[in-house]
């Protein structure tokens, strides 16, 4: 009834609304746009988040608020396969809000909670995307689903390590503050704060892994799901010195004082003042140019090994001693590399077969493993070449898919799984190999990065979306796996 839609929280009461969630009578109670942090504006830009102030009266939690500032993908204008990842709300720095979906009617006992952290290379993403709609998962599995916006790009990950007002990792601290909000408030929605499972994909999965490795986050959740990403990937973190260099480079590109040539910070206060004054679109516009080399699957502003959130590199922390470990579910899709190839490697296209010559293959290796020297690149070529058929354009295309996918997702994930198991953690692994019947990307791309998400969130239960009956069953099965994992590990 209406009483389950009016929920008390520490910041004040919130009112949600009931949404249909599959065939009647399945429904969920949705609470959209609950503030969990003070808007990170003015002097709070680049700074760790502060808890939201209480509000007077009842907060109407009925619409997704702003998305955080990010570049909009214009590679394939009007094409649904890329547009589905673009922010579907106006962008603003005032973006730190979270959403809760609860089964309706409310379950009799406190229910497990699944907290979603979106991906997007730490430079993009929004909890308001249609594909992250938590209603189907909440209703089908009788769990609570929570998602939060967190700051991305320079606004979330610019780092002047050691500087209290721009320490780096504030996007991860946004996530952690949302997890604290869940601990404090989720019981009022019918959730069990002792049964929180994090799940995320790509940079969201890397984030989940970083919370697993960060002492101050570990008490805020019980289990973790890493979909197509891990904290030890070559793109997921940078060292403190490189983080500082990238902040200085951004300052140079904006013409700020305090940033010297070659990535030196000459005056932190001046640099920070100038970066704080810049309009967000200007920051976004220059972000990519701070990268040290051209390549695919590399992002400019990412988590930094700061000695605080991350005591050491993810690699070192994984090899170190473990405590009683969280159970982990992790996996990848069949074709992790193709999405990045179509964006960044010559010879690949959305509207053709992307048959790759030997020349294009060799060039693609340099972009696919951008930090490799000549010798390492040669080793990659040797490993992935069929020498009896080295001019086969289909094999060259598939080899590059494997190289980009293995280097960035599959190998780091398998390494994470092995290390986690060695520390005494339980690991469940999957490979997702179903290509959706209504997928808009071309057949050569197979099952691209990100295309298990719609099945995890139960999108095939939405009759307007043209999935097959078998796909609805597959989605129900996957939701059941994720739900069972959240319930019992």
Catalytic residue annotation: 202, 336, 449
Q: How many CB atoms lie within 10 A of CB 289?
A: 11
Three-state DSSP state, 259 = strand
End-to-end CA distance of the chain: 32
Three-state DSSP state, 20 = strand
Three-state DSSP state, 222 = coil
Q: What are phi and psi of 28, to 5 degrees?
A: -135, 155
Q: Which helix (H) or strand (E) holds 431?
A: strand 427-432
* Cis peptide, bond prior to residue 128, ω within 30 of zero: no
Q: Estimate to the nearest angstrom the gap between the alpha carbon of 62 and the chain centroid.
A: 24
Q: Which helix (H) or strand (E) holds 362?
A: helix 358-368
| Rounded alpha-carbon distances, angstroms, from residue 90 to 125, 126, 264, 454 | 13, 11, 35, 23
Q: How many CB atoms lie within 10 A of CB 426?
A: 13
| Rounded alpha-carbon distances, angstroms, from residue 262 to 62, 249, 251, 271, 294 | 48, 8, 11, 15, 17
Token pair of 137, please? 């998962």
DSSP state letter for 93: S
Three-state DSSP state, 387 = coil
Helix axes 268-277, 240-253, angle to 10 degrees: 60
């Amino acid at each position: 009834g209406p009483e389950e839609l009016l929920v008390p929280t520490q910041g004040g009461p919130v009112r949600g609304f009931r949404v249909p969630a599959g065939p009647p009578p399945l429904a969920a109670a949705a609470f959209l746009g609950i503030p969990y942090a003070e808007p990170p504006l003015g002097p709070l830009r680049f700074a760790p988040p502060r808890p939201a102030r209480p509000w007077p009266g009842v907060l109407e939690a009925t619409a997704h608020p702003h998305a955080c500032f990010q570049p909009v993908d214009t590679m394939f204008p009007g094409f649904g396969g890329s547009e589905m990842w673009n922010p579907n709300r106006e962008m603003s720095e005032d973006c730190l809000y979270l959403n809760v979906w609860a089964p309706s009617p409310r379950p009799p006992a406190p229910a497990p909670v699944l907290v979603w952290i979106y991906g997007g290379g730490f430079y993009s993403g929004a909890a308001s995307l249609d594909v992250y709609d938590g209603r189907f998962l909440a209703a089908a599995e009788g769990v609570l689903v929570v998602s939060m916006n967190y700051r991305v790009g320079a606004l979330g990950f610019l780092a002047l390590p050691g500087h209290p007002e721009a320490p780096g990792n504030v996007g991860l601290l946004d996530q952690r503050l949302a997890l604290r909000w869940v601990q404090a408030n989720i019981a009022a929605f019918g959730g069990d704060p002792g049964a929180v499972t994090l799940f995320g994909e790509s940079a969201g999965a890397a984030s989940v892994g970083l919370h697993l490795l960060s002492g101050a986050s570990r008490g805020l959740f019980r289990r973790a799901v890493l979909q197509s990403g891990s904290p030890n990937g070559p793109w997921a973190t940078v060292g403190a010195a490189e983080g500082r260099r990238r902040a200085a480079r951004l300052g140079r590109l904006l013409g700020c004082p305090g940033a010297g040539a070659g990535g030196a910070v000459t005056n932190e206060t001046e640099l920070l003042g100038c970066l704080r004054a810049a309009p967000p679109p200007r920051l976004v516009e220059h972000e990519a140019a701070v990268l040290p080399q051209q390549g695919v699957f590399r992002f400019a502003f990412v988590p930094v090994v700061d000695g605080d959130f991350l005591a050491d590199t993810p690699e070192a922390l994984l090899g170190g001693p473990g405590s009683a470990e969280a159970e982990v579910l992790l996996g990848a899709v069949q074709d992790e590399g193709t999405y990045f190839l179509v964006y960044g490697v010559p010879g690949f296209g959305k509207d053709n077969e992307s048959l790759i010559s030997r020349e294009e293959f060799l060039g693609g290796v340099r972009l696919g493993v951008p930090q490799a020297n000549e010798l390492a690149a040669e080793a990659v070529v040797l490993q992935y070449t069929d020498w009896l058929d080295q001019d086969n354009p289909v094999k060259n295309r598939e080899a590059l898919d494997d190289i980009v996918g293995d280097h960035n997702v599959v190998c780091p994930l398998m390494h994470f799984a092995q290390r986690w198991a060695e520390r005494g953690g339980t690991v469940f692994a999957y490979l997702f190999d179903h290509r959706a019947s209504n997928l808009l990307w071309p057949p050569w791309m197979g099952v691209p990065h990100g295309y298990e998400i719609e099945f995890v969130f139960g999108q095939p239960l939405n009759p307007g979306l043209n999935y097959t009956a078998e796909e609805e069953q597959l989605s129900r099965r996957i939701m059941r796996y994720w739900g069972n994992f959240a319930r019992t590990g």
